[in-house]
Amino acid sequence: MRIMITIENTQECFVRLWRKLERTRRLLWEQHRRFCIRHVMQMWLGAEATDDLIWEVCSKMTMVLDDDIPVGGWDELPAPALYPRRHRELLRVVVAVVLDIGVRKVDLKALDRAYSIAFPKSTPINVNKKKVGLK
């Protein structure tokens, strides 16, 4: 089953992507299939999700993530609402690859705001971690 998807570099599209990611996770779970990059890409893009495209997404995710753990197409993904940072980078890379733009060209602020809209009860992704000293 293919979930029709149009990808743009806008906050409205990012809200749809966050929600589709969660729906895709549930659908794969109901089908007893692994929630992984390969299955997500195949469901979203159908025949356009070639091995080369999936490899490009996985390799760019490995470069973007802060950890040194390589990302494989079959690696199980956690729930988006529970571990949003990894999924933010996934969506960022998917948008960059599909639109053929650089990862840094993806509107990260809009992507973070979209997460707060899609998952309003969750803590926002981009919480300012800098502590202001008391004077």
User: Tens digit of pLDDT for each residue in 22-58?
Assistant: 999 999 999 999 999 999 999 999 888 899 999 999 8
pLDDT at 68 over 60: yes
Give per-residue pLDDT as tens, 70-103. 677 778 888 887 788 889 999 999 999 999 999 9
DSSP H stretches of helix in the chain: 11-30, 37-45, 51-64, 84-99, 108-118
Beta bridge partners of 76: 36
Question: pLDDT at position 78, please?
Answer: 84
pTM value? 0.84
Give the distance from CA 75 to its chain's centroid: 14
Q: Which amino acid is at 100?
A: D
Q: Which amino acid is at 86?
A: R
- The model's confidence at residue 69, banded by pLDDT at 50, 70 and 90, is low
